[in-house]
Amino acid sequence: MPSSDIERLTTPLLQSDEKLIRADHLSELWAGYGHIYRLHLKQASGSQRTTRILKTIDPPSQANKGKRKDEGHLRKMFSYQIEANFYRAYAARFLTSPGAKKHGCGVPKLFAASERDDKTQVLLLQDLTQDYPVLTERRATLSEQQVDKAIEWLATFHATFWNVESPKTGLAAQGTGCPPPLLAQDWNGEGLWQQGGYSYLATRMDELRSVDSRDGEWGSAGLHEASELPFAVDWCLNNPHDRRRLSLIHGDVKAANMAFSEDSTRMAMYDFQYVGKGLGVQDLAKFLTTSIGSRYLKQENGEVKLLRRYHSILCEQLPQAVATAYPFQDLMQDWELALVSWVRFLAGWSGGFWGNVDWLTTRVSNLLHDPDWTAQVIARWRNGDPDAEFRTSLLQDTDR
């Protein structure tokens, strides 16, 4: 983007005594939907200088040009609005929580955001590198201390927004927020995703349809459109045994979205494009299977050690009665559902599997080939949704 355009976009967002010196291009947004810049600013009346991050959202000219609504395009465009909503209305609650202060948890501050008539969006954000200079952009490079700090961050975030549907929280009440992209034509632009993440079934039916039921490891294991299992798993994640367990989830937890202090005692997470309602283990599933070294999972009791650490930090921040109502055994049940759901997405996604593939595929394959496990999941769905309305609605919505 020419410097004149950056200045034109930026000037209305700056304080009256701030002036843009230069803009350094950092990266391109996913699928070419915009750019990220580091802005170098100075006070017009003095010598003090600072930096901020500018995120410009300007989709490619060919995006959403087909006759059929482009779900991926809509998902991306809504996601940046939701990111701004999180910073405006939800971030402060997290940052001021006792847990965030104790464990050194951060998120960027939003200085300004705007949307133009041409749908170009602009976010002006805190430059995290001033307080969190260690950026872990490559997976499997996290140190043991960084892995532990990330688990602390996730447990603290989930504890802060625990029981998110309760009227007492005033946050993300059921029925508010942005529905799946193809159903969001009447969304008023407020709130977060009704369902956090970007891989849940209601927004990934095309990927499910791409899995051949007659061939391949995952189709033969039941992760295809004609099977009840994918719908049962997703229904159980959306309808846990106790809905008070629902929290806000970040929705895209990976090393590339983390920044640490030099000594790894503090950590910030950014890119809240897919934040919304969900079970905390869904964040944990993506993080542990994509971003940490495989040795952490493959060592003796490695999986259980990581999950117990998360469970311990989570429960210490919840009221005692609430923590008691979520025993480790229940967390393990939710965790296994989250793993299967993540594999269901990856099995049909054009990008394929990535991360700790061997560990993940072995773990999930063992679950899917356990007739007692699959029968229990399907029975739970049928008991809660005897007319299979959930499955029918997804099939109908995506056929429109």
* Domains of the chain, CATH where assigned: 1-68 (2.30.30), 70-107+134-397 (3.90.1200)
Write out pLDDT tens, residues 94-129.
999 999 999 999 999 999 999 876 678 999 999 999
Looking at residue 249, its pLDDT comes to 98
Looking at residue 192, its pLDDT comes to 96
CA distances from 141 to 144, 145, 254, 269, 290 (A): 10, 11, 12, 16, 11
Between CA 264 and CA 105 the distance in angstroms is 11
Looking at residue 299, its pLDDT comes to 94
Instruction: Identify the residue with better confidence: 12 or 160.
Output: 160
Looking at residue 399, its pLDDT comes to 58
CA distances from 204 to 29, 112, 250, 336, 364 (A): 21, 32, 18, 19, 19
Instruction: Identify the residue with better confidence: 138 or 19.
Output: 19
Question: Is the distance from CB of 397 to CB of 180 less than 8 angstroms?
Answer: yes
Q: Which two tokens stand for residue 205?
A: 């039916």
Question: Is the distance from CB of 365 to CB of 339 less than 8 angstroms?
Answer: no
Between CA 129 and CA 106 the distance in angstroms is 12
Between CA 348 and CA 209 the distance in angstroms is 8
Q: Which residue(s) pair with 277 in the sheet?
A: 248
Looking at residue 68, its pLDDT comes to 66
Residue that has been written with the tokens 């910030």 in this structure: 268
Question: Is the distance from CB of 24 to CB of 38 less than 8 angstroms?
Answer: yes
3-state secondary structure the chain: CCHHHHHHHHHHHCCCCEEEEEEEEEEECHHHCEEEEEEEEEECCCCCEEEEEEEEECCCCCCCCCCCCCHHHHHHHHHHHHHHHHHHHCHHHHHCCHHHHHHCEECCCEEEEEECCCCCEEEEEECHHHCCCEECCCCCCCCHHHHHHHHHHHHHHHHHCCCCCCCCCCCCCCCCCECCHHHCCCCCCCCCECCCCCCCHHHCHHHHHCCCCCCCHHHHCCCCCCCCHHHHHHHHHHCCCCHHHCEEECCCCCHHHEEECCCCCCEEECCCCCCEEECHHHHHHHHHHHCCCHHHHHCCCHHHHHHHHHHHHHHHCCCHHHHHCCCHHHHHHHHHHHHHHHHHHHHHCCCCCCCCHHHHHHHHHHHHCCHHHHHHHHHHHHHHCCCCHHHHHHHHHHHC
Question: At CA 243, angle to CA 242 and CA 249, rounded to 5?
Answer: 120
List the single range of 40-49, 141-150, 230-239 with lowest mean pLDDT.
40-49
Average pLDDT, the chain: 92
pLDDT category at 131 given cuts 50, 70, 90 is: very high
Question: Is the distance from CB of 21 to CB of 11 less than 8 angstroms?
Answer: no
pLDDT category at 64 given cuts 50, 70, 90 is: low
pLDDT category at 174 given cuts 50, 70, 90 is: very low
Between CA 29 and CA 332 the distance in angstroms is 35
Looking at residue 48, its pLDDT comes to 87
Looking at residue 391, its pLDDT comes to 93
The residues, ordered by sequence, that sit 6+ positions from 43 with a Cβ below 8 Å of its Cβ are: 17, 18, 19, 49
Question: Is the distance from CB of 191 to CB of 206 less than 8 angstroms?
Answer: no
Residue 140 pLDDT > 60? yes
Instruction: Identify the residue with better confidence: 205 or 139.
Output: 205
Write out pLDDT tens, residues 251-285.
999 999 999 999 999 999 999 999 999 999 999 99
Looking at residue 65, its pLDDT comes to 63
